[in-house]
Amino acid sequence: MKSTSTYYRTVAALVTAGLVGGCAVGAADEGDGGGDKTVAYPTEGISVLAPGSPGGGWDTRARGMSQALTKCDVIDQKVTVTNKPGAGGTIGLAEFIEHKGDMHQLMVMDTVTMLGGIAVNKSPVDMKSLTPVAGLTSSPSVLVVPKKSPYDDLKSLLADLEKKPKSIKWTGGSVGGADHIQAALLGKSKGVSPDRINYVPTGGGGETVSQLLSGAATVGMATVTELRGQIEAGELKVLALAEKPEGQEIEGIDAPSLAELGLEEAAVSSVGGVLAPSGLSDAEQQAVVDTVRKMRDSNCWKDVLKRNDWTDAWTPGDEFGDLIGKQEDQVNDVLKELGLVK
Instruction: Answer yes or no: do 145 and 224 share one domain.
Output: yes
d(CA 48, CA 80) in angstroms, rounded, equals 6
Q: Are residues 164 and 130 part of one domain?
A: no
Question: Which sign does the torsion angle of CA 227, 126, 123, 50 carry?
Answer: positive
- Residue-level pLDDT, tens digit, the chain, 342 residues: 444 444 444 434 433 333 333 323 333 343 444 445 789 999 999 999 999 989 888 999 999 999 999 999 999 999 999 999 988 899 999 999 999 999 999 999 999 989 999 999 999 999 999 999 999 999 888 999 999 999 999 999 999 999 999 999 999 988 888 899 999 989 999 999 988 999 999 877 788 999 999 999 999 999 888 899 999 999 999 999 998 876 567 888 989 999 999 998 888 878 999 999 999 999 999 999 999 999 999 999 999 999 888 889 999 999 999 999 999 988 998 898 888 888
- Per-residue model confidence (pLDDT) at position 36: 54
Q: Is residue 122 part of a domain?
A: yes
CB–CB of 250/244 below 8 Å?
Answer: yes
Instruction: Give the helix, strand, coil percentages of the chain, each rounded to 5.
Output: 45, 20, 35
Same structural domain, 235 and 280: no
Q: What is the phi-psi region of residue 241: left when phi exceeds 0, alpha when psi lies from -120 to 50, beta otherwise?
A: beta
Q: What is the spatial distance between Cα 253 and Cα 226, in angstroms, rounded to a whole number?
A: 13
Range of the domain at 53: 46-139+270-338
Give pLDDT, residue 247: 59
* Pairing outcome for strands 236-241 and 169-172: unpaired
Sign of the alpha-carbon dihedral angle for 280, 58, 29, 288: positive
How many C-beta atoms lie closer than 10 Å to residue 274's C-beta?
23
Number of structural domains found in the chain: 2
Residue 163: other Cβ atoms inside 10 A = 11
Domain stop point among 243, 266, 289 = 266
Q: Which of 239, 266, 293 is the C-terminal boundary of a domain?
A: 266
Determine the Cα–Cα distance for residues 193 and 306; give it in Å rounded to an integer: 38
Among 228, 245, 266, the domain-final residue is: 266
Specify the CATH number for the domain of residue 248: 3.40.190.10
Write the DSSP symbol of residue 37: P
Q: Would residue 32 count as lying in a domain?
A: no
Whether 165 and 149 share a structural domain: yes
**pLDDT of the residue at 1:** 41
At 175, give phi and psi (nearest 5°): -60, 130
pLDDT of residue 291: 98
Q: Which residues pair with 141 in a beta bridge?
A: 223
Residues 276, 133, single domain; the answer is: yes
Cα gap 57→221, rounded to integer Å = 12
